[in-house]
Structure 1
Amino acid sequence: MKIKMTKEFIKKLPKTDLHVHLDGSVRIETIIDLAKKYNIKLPTMDPAELRKLLVCGEQTTSLDDYLRAFPIVNLVLQNEEGLRRAAYELAEDASAENVRYMEVRYSPILHTDQGLKLTEISQAVIDGLKQGERDFGIKTGVIICGIRNMDPTTSLKLAELAVAFKNKGVIGFDLAGGEYKHPAKDHKEAFDLALHNNLNITIHAGEAYGPESIHQALHYCGTHRIGHGTRLVEDGDLLNYVNDHRIPLEICLTSNLHTKAVPDIRSHPIDFYIDYGLRVTINTDNRTISNTTVTDEYMLAINELGLDYPTVKYIILNGFKSAFLPYKERVRLINQILKEIDEIEEQELKTRVKVKENL
C-alpha cells in the first residue's frame, strides 16, 4: 500500500530548514505589537493592510522588488527584545510543523540603526533561538550574512563577527542582498577570513543572476552550499562540478516564483536536479514574506512537479546530510530521523488499513 502524501502527513515528518531569513519570517502580529510597544511608526498598524504590504505574490516583479518589505520589518528589529522574540517565535513556528533542525540567517548590520552593537545583536538572536530549543525541542544554528550591495569592508567586519561567535551559536557565513551587478568575488577577503577559521560557507547565487554568480561563489569564495542555484541548469559543466562534489542546493520554490527566478513552479529546474542526482534540499527562505512553511514547500513540489514519496523522503534526508553540524552529530541525527520516519510510515499504513477495513 502506498503512502498518501497529504499535508497532514508531510507536516508529521521530521524536516530541516537550511535557508530561512530571520527578518523575512517575523509574525505580522509581532511586528505590530513591537511597533506599539516602542512607538515605532509603520506604514500601517492594520494587520490586513500590513500583510498586503509585506507578503509577496505572483505580482512581485524581481528580487529587488521582493526585498522591498525587509526595511519595514527591520524597523521593529532594532532592539534586543525584538530580535530575541523574533528568533524565539521562529523556532516555535518551525517546531510546530516538526522542523527538527533549522539554520537561521540574517545580517546584524541591518539592526544597528538605534545604536545596538553587533555583539549585542548577535547574542540576542542566539539567546532567542536557544530558548526556543529548550522550549520546543528544535535544534538551531545561526548563519551571519554579508550584504552584496554594501561595501566589502562591511562583509569583512561581519565575517569577523561570525568567527568570534563560532561555537557559540554561529555555524556559518553567507552573502545575501541584491545579486545583479554585485559580484561575490568583491567580498573574497571576508570569505578568506571565514575559511581560514574553518567556518561553514553558504552563498546566495544563481537566483537573480546566472551561472557566473555560482562560479564565483564556488571558486572565489569557497562555498560549501549554494543558496538557490536556480540558474545552475544553464551551465552543464558547472552543474556536473556541483553534482560531483556533492555541493547541496538550498531550493526555495515559492521565493523563486516571487523573485521571478522562474516564471512558474512547473518551470523550476528542481525536478531535473533531483533526477540528475544533485543534492537538493527544500527550504522556506522567508516564512512571512512568501507566506509559506516547509510543509507548504513540499506540498508545492508534490502537487506541481509530481514528486513521489521516495523522492520526498530522499530530499528530507538530504537536508539532514547537508546540515552545518559536526559529522558525528549529523550521523546521530540522521539515524534518529530514519527511525522516526519508519515509525510514522508504519503508523500511517496501519491507519489506512483500519480505514479500509471499516469501509
Structure 2
Amino acid sequence: MNNIDIIRDLPKLDLHCHLSGSIRPETILEIARLEGIPHHTDDLEEFKGYVQAPSECKSLKEYLQRFELTLSVMQKKEYLQRIAYELIEDVSKQNIYYLEIRFAPFFHLDGGLTFDGAVEAVLAGMEEGRRDFGVISNLILILMRHHSPQKSLEAVKQGKKFLNKGVVAIDLAGNEHDFPPQLHREAFELAREYGFHRTVHAGETGIPENIITAVKELHAERIGHGVHAYRNQEVYDFVKEKGIPLELCLTSNIQTKAIESYSAHPIKRYLEDGIVVTANTDNMTVSNTDLIQEYEKLVTEIGFSLEDLRRVILNGLEASFASEEDKDHLRRLFNEKFEIHFSK
C-alpha cells in the first residue's frame, strides 16, 4: 500500500468545518431551483464556479462571496437538516470518525425559522447521520464579530438549552480587523459559566495579538486558524507554552491569502517545535477540498511523514470537544487502525 492509499485509509477527524461552506453544490442548486432563488445557471459544472472559490483568489472578499448563495438555501428546517445529514454522509466516505460542525444560527432566520428551530434542524441531521453512518459529531455555535455584544449574549443564553445535547461550544468569527475579540468578552464569560467549550477565530488575517486576547479575555481553549502566530514572538511563545491547539486549515489559508503558498505555511514548523496543531477543512465546498486532499497536501506539498500525520490526528482527538466517553471510544478505534500502518 503506497502513502496515498494509507492516507485515505487513516482514521480522521475534523475540528473546524463550517456547515455553510460545506454543502454539496448539487444540493444548493436543487434548493435554489425549488425556492426560486437566482442561481446564475442550471448547469451543475458551471454552477460550481459560483459556489467554489478559485484556487487563486484575489482576496478574502472574493472567497467570502461564495457564501452568499449557500446561505440563501439554508433558511428552512428541512433544508438545514438535509444539509447536515449529507455532510455527515460525505465525511464518512473520508474515514472521518469525528466531526465538529460550526454554524451561526442568526444567519438562518430569514425564512421565518427561530433560533431554536435552526439549531434543532442541524442537530436532527447530525443525529440521523450518526445513526446511518456511525460518525460522531458535535455542534459549535458561531457568534459573529460584527454583531452587537448583546446579540452574542442572546445566542449564548438561547443556546444553553442545547448544551451537551449535541451543542458543545461557541466560536467567534468574522471581520478580525475591525472587531477585536474583547468586544464579546461578556458572552464568552457567560458561556464559560454555563459550561460551553470555547474556540475563537484569531490570528488568521494578520493580527497575531488577537490570539492572546482570545485566550486571556475570552477563555478560548482552542484557536481557529492562528496561522500568523509566528509573526509575533510573544504570541508564538504563548501558544507553545500554554499548549493552545491551533485549528489549521491549509487550503483555505492559501485561498484567503492568509499564507502565500503551501511551502510558506508554518504548520510543519509548528508541529516540529511542539505546538499543538490540527489539520482541518474549514469549508469543503467553498475550498473544493476534503480531508483526504488536505492530508495529501501535507505530505506532497509540505513534507509531512505518515508519523507526522498520526501526531496531528492524535492532537485533534485530544483537543476535541468530544465527551470523555466518545474520546475513549475514538482512542481505541484510532489505535486499532493505526496498528495496521504503524506496526513496525
For the aligned pair, the TM-score class normalised by the smaller chain equals: over 0.9
Moved more, 143-152 or 153-162: 153-162
Match of 2:296 in 1: 299
- Work out whether 1:196 is the aligned partner of 2:193: yes
- 1:247 positional shift: 1.3
Q: Distance in 2 between matches of 1:194 and 1:71?
A: 29
- 1:176 positional shift: 1.1
Match of 2:235 in 1: 238
Q: Tell me the amino acid that sits aligned with residue 197 of structure 2.
A: N
Q: Distance in 2 between matches of 1:329 and 1:93?
A: 21
Match of 2:67 in 1: 70
- Work out whether 1:136 is the aligned partner of 2:133: yes
- Work out whether 1:45 is the aligned partner of 2:42: yes
Identity of aligned residues (%): 37
Give SS of 2:20's match: coil
- Work out whether 1:175 is the aligned partner of 2:172: yes
- 1:310 positional shift: 1.0
Q: Distance in 2 between matches of 1:136 and 1:63?
A: 34
The structure 2 residue matched to 1:9, chosen from 6, 9, 12, is 6
Q: Distance in 1 between matches of 2:113 and 2:88?
A: 23
5+ unaligned residues in a row in structure 2: which ranges? Answer: none
Q: Distance in 2 between matches of 1:217 and 1:185?
A: 7
Give SS of 2:163's match: coil
Q: Tell me the amino acid that sits aligned with residue 94 of structure 1.
A: V
Q: Tell me the amino acid that sits aligned with residue 326 of structure 1.
A: S
The structure 1 residue matched to 2:117, chosen from 117, 120, 134, is 120
Return the TM-score normalized by structure 2.
0.96
Please give the per-residue CA displacement for 1:281-311, whole angstroms capped at 9, x wherever unaligned. 0000000000001111111111111101111
Match of 1:101 in 2: 98
Q: Distance in 2 between matches of 1:49 and 1:152?
A: 40
The structure 2 residue matched to 1:84, chosen from 81, 86, 95, is 81
User: 2:171, 2:198 within 8 Å by CA — same for their partners in 1?
Assistant: yes
Q: Tell me the amino acid that sits aligned with residue 110 of structure 2.
A: D
User: 1:162, 1:172 within 8 Å by CA — same for their partners in 2?
Assistant: no
Q: Distance in 1 between matches of 2:320 and 2:284?
A: 19
Q: Tell me the amino acid that sits aligned with residue 142 of structure 2.
A: C
Q: Distance in 1 between matches of 2:159 and 2:222?
A: 17
Paired residues in the alignment total 344
- Work out whether 1:320 is the aligned partner of 2:336: no
Q: Tell me the amino acid that sits aligned with residue 77 of structure 1.
A: M
Moved more, 285-294 or 331-340: 331-340
- 1:344 positional shift: 4.7
Return the TM-score normalized by structure 1.
0.92
User: 1:63, 1:178 within 8 Å by CA — same for their partners in 2?
Assistant: no
Q: What is the Cα-based RMSD across aligned positions, in Å?
A: 1.5
- Work out whether 1:151 is the aligned partner of 2:184: no
Moved more, 49-58 or 243-252: 49-58
Give SS of 2:243's match: coil
The structure 2 residue matched to 1:26, chosen from 23, 26, 46, is 23
Match of 1:110 in 2: 107
Match of 1:56 in 2: 53
Q: Distance in 2 between matches of 1:328 and 1:133?
A: 15
- 1:342 positional shift: 0.7
- 1:202 positional shift: 0.6
- 1:196 positional shift: 0.8
Give SS of 1:290's match: coil
- Work out whether 1:289 is the aligned partner of 2:265: no
- Work out whether 1:211 is the aligned partner of 2:208: yes
Give SS of 1:220's match: helix
Q: Tell me the amino acid that sits aligned with residue 237 of structure 1.
A: E
Moved more, 160-169 or 279-288: 160-169
- Work out whether 1:309 is the aligned partner of 2:306: yes
Q: Tell me the amino acid that sits aligned with residue 64 of structure 2.
A: L
Please give the per-residue CA displacement for 1:103-154, whole angstroms capped at 9, x wherever unaligned. 0001010101111000000000000010000000100000000011222222
Q: Distance in 2 between matches of 1:330 and 1:235?
A: 34
- 1:328 positional shift: 4.6
Please give the per-residue CA displacement for 1:28-72, whole angstroms capped at 9, x wherever unaligned. 100111122233332333222221122112331333331111121
Q: Distance in 1 between matches of 2:341 and 2:80?
A: 35
User: 1:83, 1:121 within 8 Å by CA — same for their partners in 2?
Assistant: yes
5+ unaligned residues in a row in structure 1: which ranges? Answer: 350-359
- 1:277 positional shift: 0.6
Moved more, 53-62 or 94-103: 53-62
Q: Tell me the amino acid that sits aligned with residue 176 of structure 1.
A: A
Please give the per-residue CA displacement for 1:204-231, whole angstroms capped at 9, x wherever unaligned. 1111131122122111111000000010
- Work out whether 1:250 is the aligned partner of 2:247: yes
Moved more, 44-53 or 250-259: 44-53
- 1:345 positional shift: 4.7
Q: Distance in 1 between matches of 2:342 and 2:307?
A: 12
- 1:319 positional shift: 1.1
Displaced runs of 4+ in structure 1, greater than 3 A? none
Q: Distance in 1 between matches of 2:262 and 2:147?
A: 31
Q: Distance in 2 between matches of 1:340 and 1:310?
A: 14
- Specify whether residues 83 and 267 from structure 1 end up closer, same or farther in structure 2 by C-alpha distance, changes over 3 A only: same
Moved more, 221-230 or 65-74: 65-74
Match of 2:218 in 1: 221
